[in-house]
Amino acid sequence: EKVEITKEQEALMKLIVDAYNKHQIPQDVTKKLLQEQYSTEENFILLTEIATSQVQVLVEFTKNIPGFLSLDHEDQIALLKGSAVEAMFLRSAQVFSRKMPIGHTEVLEERIRKSGISEEFITPLFNFYKSVGELHMSLEEQALLTAVTILTPDRPYVKDQQTVELLQEPMVDLLKKLCVLQHPQEPQYFARLLGRLTELRTLNHYHAEMLTSWRVNDHKFTPLLCEIWDVQ
């Protein structure tokens, strides 16, 4: 039968997409990707600055998700901490898949490859970027997938998983309809999208190891990253 987006779903999508577009890393930060020196140390420092800016952007985007600010405050923190890495993988993946802005793709890849991350994590990391790139996600799909990731009920320390599920469900339903409408030739497209969320979970594990190996080599993070990643 015909798949239709309701008026409320239209309104919800506009809220999420507008928030996704509004909250971006400032140009003066990302433009440094093209300017700074190419040394392992410089790359790490620049990526740390970008990640810190990305977390701030992520918090602002999350505050625009309908119902999020009505959640228990400790649960809000638990959701942000539990999803930050996955949301940043998704966001940085868009840079590689959108081939935008011109030139940043190559330098971002170069700096990530040469930032002190060991080879065993580089492979799964860029496999993920490749698999997301192949999906050619629309902006609406990117924004909704990020919201769905943030509203994952079974993050550590979330007390009221039920309420989080009630917020996540309409996002998932809307994303499913969008996939059918925007990829009519690919009935399994929505399933492929959800498959990326499973892949993201495994990247959390790799990321924890990346943090440990950076810290072993005495790399410093910013206070915001220390707080969201429970390090130092």
Ligand X SMILES: CC(C)c1onc(-c2c(Cl)cccc2Cl)c1COc1ccc(-c2ccc3[nH]c(C(=O)O)cc3c2)cc1
Residues forming the site for ligand X (CB under 6 A): 25, 30, 33, 44, 47-48, 50-51, 54, 85, 88-89, 91-92, 95, 101, 104, 108, 112, 115, 125, 221, 225
List, in sequence order, every beta strand (DSSP E) within 81-204: none
Nearer to ligand X, 97 or 190 (CB): 97
Q: For the CB of residue 218, give the shortest distance to ligand X in the complex, in Å.
A: 14
- Do residues 144 and 178 lie in contact, with contact meaning Cβ atoms separated by under 8 Å? yes
C-beta closer to ligand X: residue 44 or 61:
44
Distance between CA 202 and CA 194 in Å, rounded? 13
CB of 221 to ligand X, least distance (A): 6
Q: How far is the CB of 155 from ligand X (least distance, A)?
A: 16
Smallest gap, in angstroms, from Cβ of residue 31 to ligand X?
8
For 35, the 3-state DSSP assignment is: coil
Let me know if 88 is exposed, middle or buried by CB neighbors in 10 A (0-12, 13-18, 19+): buried
State which residue, 94 or 163, has the beta carbon closest to ligand X.
94
**Smaller CB separation from ligand X, 67 or 101:** 101
Listed residue (178, 180, 198) closest to 188, CA to CA: 180
Which lies closer to ligand X via its Cβ, residue 16 or residue 50? 50
Alpha-carbon distances of 163 from 11, 91, 158, 159, rounded to whole Å:
21, 26, 10, 9
Q: How many CA atoms lie within 13 A of 186 on its CB side?
A: 14
CB of 96 to ligand X, least distance (A): 10
